[in-house]
């Protein structure tokens, strides 16, 4: 069953009236600039038209083999207060949905973490600016497109985002700043916003409260399977639901945190508490995974709370009534983050790397990341070779405090090195047998302290090169 969001228009403020008047006066000029920018973008795109179509076809689930590490999409129950619909805006040449719209009720809260990339995208700039302006109060809609990142597109890209937000705001009777926008796809191509706004009427007519699987598929690029996670928690005796989707396969080394994640709960949580929670749990979930060490210009994680569960409103992240909710939220974020690694472009191994005995947790994390991002380490995993010497190399190049003569390396329960030397119990046959598993664990003790950190990664295969070599050209 679908329903149309309530239409409650706020009276325009004087400054908004002036702005609207100026916008109408400058509209002919804005339209001309938009046409010129789109013409340039179209000319650039035509130079790669056939190859892009080929790459896009490979991104289609029917054309690209599903990752051997894939997990099934979970059964996700509707979450009170959020409706969603997908559609085809045409950013891909082949037939597929590439547009997602979510609509939230009045009074919903929002929070987010974003890429720290020096070339952040226009959608990231929009969300950061308006979340700061609204303090997360009153989020009413989210619109996401795949196929065009709208990054490194300057003022024309920013204007395109504003027009998308304006179109969505007009359709769903809210302010532009209450619309969150996200994009993923090729960097350097200007977003043709008309492709989105022209689909909004159809999208509105198909809003549903049970469209999570379709939503996850619509935001995919080189992903080989849709990614979702769901949990239920109790707040003061009332059951609340938490559901989320994400996309990402390559260019995965979130630091906000191409990666997008959208999580919704029907709990009633203030924006400040919501922001504290998402900032806290991002560190050991999305910021603890890596596929290739490359951060995206568009990394975005948005968390929405609709307040429709009937549970009491919580204003502090540390409120003891949120204990179960906090655990379940972290679990959902961790599940989604792990699925990014499982769908790493060309991945055949899911690898957990834990560093212990470090001086500080930050030092342990940097060492673990050094191991997880090393091409030599990752290719050794692809070849099912327990080359612990490469791991030692990666530990040393992190330039963090270690004790060489206390350094130990373990694969699963098998010691490769102990106290700075090859382990007395090292058994090549047992190690080779272990390396054939799809899921592996490596533990490194650096012998200088008591701090630890864990990072998840995947191997680096020839398939990664094929996918990224063909992505655009």
Residue 251 vs residue 343, higher pLDDT: 343
Predicted local confidence at residue 119, as pLDDT = 62
Predicted local confidence at residue 222, as pLDDT = 82
Whole-number Å distance between alpha carbons of 85 and 2: 10
Question: Average pLDDT in the 379-389 region?
Answer: 94
Predicted local confidence at residue 120, as pLDDT = 67
pLDDT value at 395 more than 90 = yes
pLDDT per residue as tens digits for the range 81-113: 999 999 999 999 889 999 999 999 999 999 999
Nearest residue to 391 (alpha-carbon basis) of 358, 354, 360: 354
pLDDT value at 431 more than 90 = yes
Whole-number Å distance between alpha carbons of 82 and 208: 8
Question: Average pLDDT in the 278-296 region?
Answer: 79
Predicted local confidence at residue 472, as pLDDT = 53
Predicted local confidence at residue 2, as pLDDT = 43
pLDDT per residue as tens digits for the range 309-337: 999 999 999 999 999 999 999 999 999 99
Q: Which of 58-62, 149-153, 416-420, 461-465 has the lowest mean pLDDT?
A: 58-62
Question: pLDDT-derived band of residue 291, with 50, 70 and 90 as boundaries?
Answer: confident
Q: Distances from the Cα of 184 to the Cαs of 157, 168, 348, 404, 469, in angstroms?
A: 13, 19, 24, 43, 18
**Helices 388-396 and 361-373, interaxial angle, to 10°?**
130
Question: pLDDT-derived band of residue 64, with 50, 70 and 90 as boundaries?
Answer: confident
Q: Which of 222-231, 340-349, 351-360, 375-384 has the lowest mean pLDDT?
A: 340-349
pLDDT per residue as tens digits for the range 249-263: 655 455 544 479 999
By annotation, the residues acting in catalysis are 258
Nearest residue to 131 (alpha-carbon basis) of 262, 333, 272, 298: 272
The answer to whether residues 445 and 408 touch, using CB atoms and an 8 Å cutoff, is: yes
Task: Tell me the pTM.
Answer: 0.82
Dihedral sign for Cα 106, 107, 108, 111, please: positive
Q: Distances from the Cα of 399 to the Cαs of 132, 290, 452, 456, in angstroms?
A: 37, 20, 16, 21
Q: Which of 207-216, 252-261, 308-317, 434-443 has the lowest mean pLDDT?
A: 252-261
pLDDT value at 28 more than 70 = no
pLDDT averaged over every residue in the chain: 85
Predicted local confidence at residue 467, as pLDDT = 67
Burial class (CB in 10 A: 0-12, 13-18, 19+), 24: exposed
Q: Which of 175-184, 278-287, 436-445 has the lowest mean pLDDT?
A: 278-287
Q: Where are the alpha helices (DSSP H) in 343-427?
A: 361-373, 375-382, 388-396
Looking up tokens 């390559």 gives 250
Percentage of the chain exceeding pLDDT 70? 81
Question: Average pLDDT in the 299-314 region?
Answer: 95
pLDDT value at 298 more than 60 = no
């Amino acid at each position: 069953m679908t329903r149309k969001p309530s239409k409650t228009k706020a009276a325009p403020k004087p400054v908004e009236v002036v702005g609207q008047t100026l916008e109408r006066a400058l509209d002919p000029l804005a339209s001309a600039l938009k046409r010129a920018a789109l013409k340039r973008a179209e000319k650039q795109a035509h130079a790669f038209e056939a190859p892009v179509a080929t790459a896009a076809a490979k991104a289609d689930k029917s054309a690209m083999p599903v990752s051997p590490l894939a997990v099934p999409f979970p059964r996700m129950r509707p979450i009170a207060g959020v409706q969603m619909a997908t559609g085809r805006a045409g950013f891909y040449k082949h037939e597929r949905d590439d547009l997602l719209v979510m609509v939230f009720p009045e009074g919903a809260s929002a929070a987010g973490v974003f890429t720290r990339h020096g070339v952040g995208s226009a959608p990231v700039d929009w969300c950061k600016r308006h979340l700061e302006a609204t303090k997360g109060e009153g989020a009413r809609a989210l619109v996401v497109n795949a196929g065009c990142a709208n990054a490194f597109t300057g003022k024309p890209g920013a204007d395109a985002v504003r027009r998308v937000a304006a179109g969505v705001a007009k359709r769903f009777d809210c302010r532009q700043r209450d619309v969150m926008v996200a994009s993923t796809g090729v960097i350097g191509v200007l977003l043709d916003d008309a492709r989105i706004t022209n689909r909004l009427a159809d999208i509105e007519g198909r809003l549903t409260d049970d469209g999570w699987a379709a939503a996850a598929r619509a935001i995919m690029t080189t992903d080989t399977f849709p990614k979702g996670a769901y949990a239920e928690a109790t707040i003061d005796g009332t059951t609340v639901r938490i559901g989320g989707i994400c996309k990402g396969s390559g260019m995965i080394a979130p630091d906000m945190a191409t990666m997008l994640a959208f999580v919704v709960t029907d709990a009633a949580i203030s924006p400040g508490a919501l922001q504290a929670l998402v900032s806290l749990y991002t560190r050991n979930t999305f910021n603890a995974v890596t596929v290739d060490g490359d951060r995206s210009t568009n990394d975005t994680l948005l968390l929405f709370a609709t307040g429709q569960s009937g549970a009491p409103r919580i204003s502090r992240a540390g409120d003891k009534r949120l204990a179960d909710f906090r655990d379940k939220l972290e679990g959902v974020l961790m599940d989604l983050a792990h699925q990014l690694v499982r769908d790493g472009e060309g991945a055949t191994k899911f690898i957990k790397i834990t560093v212990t005995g470090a001086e500080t947790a930050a030092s342990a994390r940097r060492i673990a990341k050094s191991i997880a991002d090393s091409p030599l380490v990752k290719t050794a995993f692809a070849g099912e070779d327990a080359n612990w010497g490469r791991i030692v190399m990666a530990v040393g190049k992190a330039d963090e405090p270690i004790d060489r003569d206390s350094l130990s390396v373990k694969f699963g329960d098998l010691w490769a090195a102990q106290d700075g030397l090859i382990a007395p119990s090292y058994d090549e046959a047992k190690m080779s047998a272990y390396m054939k598993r799809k899921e592996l664990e490596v533990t490194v003790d650096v012998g200088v302290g008591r701090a630890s950190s864990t990072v998840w990664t995947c191997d680096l295969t020839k398939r990664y090169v094929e996918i990224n070599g063909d992505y655009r050209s």
